A and B are shown apart, each in its own frame.
Chain A
Amino acid sequence: MNRSWLLWAPLAVTACIGGLATYGLVVPKDEQVRSAMIGQKLPEFALPPATQGVLPLSNTDMGDGKPRLLNIFASWCIPCKAEAPQLEALEAAGVEIDGIAIRDRPEDVAAFLDEFGNPYRRIGSDSEMAVQLKLGSSGVPETYVIAADGTILFQHIGDIRTEHVPMLIEKLKATR
């Protein structure tokens, strides 16, 4: 019986494993954990105001016929400071932004808004990150596009850079 081809099988298997290892080294790893809630309605939540003088935020405040951005941020988060000018630009373009402050103190949120401006319509305080978990959000900052009916349409992970501003405006327009 001629089974000489079988001799090559171990080499072929080794080559496959080698190829897989090379692929793992060459292709950069995507460590972002995307939310699985895209395409679904906002979960139910009701958050107290994050500091004095801002309005509280609950899920019913969104999805009232107008598409909005939901920005997850924290005063202790450095990329959140970096995206502040972009949020200002979005607000100036007529976009309504609701905020959720993660693990924050009212005085720190107030200081953050004083320094970097307040582009938010409402800011809820999620001190125990419970709403973040419900949203399938994995960190700060993150920005969600919420449709007019309260459906989560899109998740942007990380700070909003200048090049992301037109894309977010497009996504909001597309839902109208």
Chain B
Amino acid sequence: MKIFVAILLMLAAPAFSQGIGPTPALANRQLPDPAKEAEATRLMHSLRCIQCQGQSIADSDASMAATMRAEVRQQIVAGQKPEAIRVWMIERYGEWVSFEPDFKGAGLLLWLTPILLLFVSFWLARGLFRRRT
């Protein structure tokens, strides 16, 4: 009986919590042109998946990420620039969708804080050395 139950458990199919629709053709297939594929992959690593938040669409296996990868590859094939595709995504999901914050608004603080801290620490260190001599 135990063996029978064990066999049943092994045969059990996982639940389809994401639906059973087809995966877009370009979601998991590379583009024939390696240069274009490299461009697309670089962009995919810097776009955030909407479904499994925190993962890039290149890393995620969620159906939404598959759709987004297909969209990126389709637009690259159509001759669109990667940064224009990023803007296209931001127009739909907001700044949140990009892993590379823009050089404006709150993003400005993010970019400039390290530089500011570097200057402050130089200034503090300078004071220390002066006292010693």
Contact = CB atoms under 8 A, between A and B. Distances in A.
B24 A35 contact: no
B64 A36 contact: no
Contacts of B18: 76, 103
Interface string B18-44: 111111100000000000000000000
A133 interface: yes
Contacts, number: 72
Interface of B: 16-24, 50-51, 53, 63-64, 67-68, 70-71, 90-94, 96-97
A98 interface: no
Nearest to A1: B127
Contact of A36 (B21, B67, B70, B93): B93
11 contacts: A36-B90, A37-B92, A104-B19, A128-B67, A130-B24, A130-B67, A132-B64, A133-B67, A133-B68, A134-B92, A139-B51
B49 to A, nearest CB: 10
A42 to B, nearest CB: 12
Contact of B19 (A34, A36, A102, A133): A102
Nearest to B120: A9
A35 B93 contact: yes
Interface string A15-36: 0000000000000000101111
B17 A76 contact: yes
Given A31-B53, A33-B50, A76-B20, A103 B63 contact: yes
